[in-house]
Amino acid sequence: MAFTATILLLGAGELGREFVISAKRLGARVVACDAYDDAPAMQVADGREVFSMLDGAALRAAVEKHRPDFIVPEIEAIRTEMLVELEREGFNVVPSARATQLTMNRDRIRDLAAGELGLATSRYRYAETLEEVRAGAEHTGFPCVIKPVMSSSGKGQSKVRDAAGLEAAWDHAVANMRGDRRRVIVEQFVDFDYEITLLTVRTKDGVLFCPPIGHRQERGDYQESWQPAAMSPAAIAAAQDMARKVVDDLGGQGLFGVEFFVCGDEVIFSELSPRPHDTGMVTLVSQNLSEFDLHARAIMGLPIPAPIRARPSASAVILADRESAAPAYSGLAEALAVEGGTVDLRLFGKPTTRPWRRMGVALASAGDTDTARRIAGEAAGRVRIEYG
């Protein structure tokens, strides 16, 4: 059978799973890779490879075996030096090997955004010892947020109220950092009114924006998101301007999730993902083309009709609370019976659970985002994980 493209997906979680579905609808063949078997995206892909993507040799072997038209990173923890090498040899890394390298390291993307591009960010310092953490906190003031430079979904992150809390925060960051760099960023805590993800699509013809997505985070991890987020025209324009600057600098084609904190009309850049964003799962019901469809189209150079619109919708996460193998689910009928709008579910099919692991999301569309948030939250709460 002839395929429109072969895609090697590096990371096979819930975001990858939806991307596989979008890409396959456009005729692509997708091979999903992750460090464990039966990952969510593998269950719907054409092929799978199980290896650690931090292992450069294994990564190269998978690329040489499948000779993909597109290498599509789905997680941050990848041996990105190998992606740079493969790109030099002519492979197409989405959106670009440089984008994956810079965004995997908080210090590198911060240096680019705040330093070279002059975007507004929180005050920050990097630190490699407890002494440097103390000096960093003196620069930022309290409260501050301490995060490993390499981590995602809030891992190793803490908010520190006073000097007495710095040592515990440093220890927590070191214990939960990914990779081998004992380095953290100490950031001024921004007491924002709200925070958003601005999904930004870089196509061969230019840059497009989705309506802003509001979200609420706990422990540095997303709990619920909604779209469109109410935002002043001045704040939207400022966010779009900053997002355009970063994605144009990073280059390539694809969808990016650009995160901002908003205080009145003041917009502060936080970080970005050069790939679909977890808070963007709401677009599965809010937009006619989801963030996964948009990523697939942008990568494959296919047209995207503008403007991209969203009907009021929300997502709410379904989290595990303990370790277990072979989880099962109940309460689906009750969840889908929540009234006030249209409710849907995505259960990711992850083979095991652990405390706080995201196992699914409830999605809802309604007359307004407040109602959508309420019913998505109610539906998520009705799904029960059976730990066996």
Ligand X SMILES: NCC(=O)N[C@@H]1O[C@H](COP(=O)([O-])[O-])[C@@H](O)[C@H]1O
Residues 6+ apart with CB under 8 A from 156: 147, 148, 172, 173, 174, 175, 176, 177
**138 catalytic, yes or no?**
no
247 in a labelled binding site: no
Q: Give the range of 12-20, 44-52, 186-194, 228-236 binding ligand ATP by CB under 6 A.
A: 186-194
350 in a labelled binding site: yes
85 in a labelled binding site: no
Closest CA to 232 of 265, 195, 196: 265
Q: Please identify which residue in 18, 34, 195, 378 interacts with ligand ATP, judged by CB under 6 A.
A: 195
Contact 187, 173 (CB under 8 A): no
67 in a labelled binding site: no
CB of 153 to ligand ATP, least distance (A): 4
Cα gap 161→168, rounded to integer Å:
12
Q: What are the start-end ranges of the H helices in 156-273?
A: 166-176, 233-250
**203 catalytic, yes or no?**
no
- If the CB atoms of residues 127 and 199 are measured against ligand X, the closer one turns out to be 199
**151 counts as binding ligand ATP under rule CB under 6 A:** yes
115 in a labelled binding site: no
**278 catalytic, yes or no?**
yes
Contact 193, 231 (CB under 8 A): no
**162 catalytic, yes or no?**
no
What is the x/- site pattern for Mg ion, positions 255-274, by CB under 5 A? Answer: ----x---------------
Query: Hey, CA dihedral for 118, 120, 247, 239, is it positive or negative?
Result: negative
Tokens of 174: 């070191």
Q: Give the range of 20-28, 38-46, 187-195, 206-214 binding ligand ATP by CB under 6 A.
A: 187-195
Residues 6+ apart with CB under 8 A from 288: 309
- If the CB atoms of residues 23 and 133 are measured against ligand X, the closer one turns out to be 23
CB of 128 to ligand ATP, least distance (A): 19
Cα gap 360→12, rounded to integer Å:
14
The CB-nearest residue to ligand ATP is: 152
Burial grade of 319 (CB within 10 A; 0-12, 13-18, 19 or more): middle
**179 counts as binding ligand ATP under rule CB under 6 A:** no
| Residue 10, beta-bridge partner list | 33, 73
CB of 119 to ligand ATP, least distance (A): 14
Which residues make up each annotated binding site?
14-15, 74, 106, 147, 152-157, 187-190, 195, 259, 271, 278, 350, 357-358
User: Mind telling me the catalytic residues?
Assistant: 152, 154, 259, 271, 278-279, 358
Which residues make up the interface to ligand ATP (CB under 6 A)? 122, 145, 147, 151-154, 157, 187, 189-190, 195, 217, 220, 259, 270-271, 278
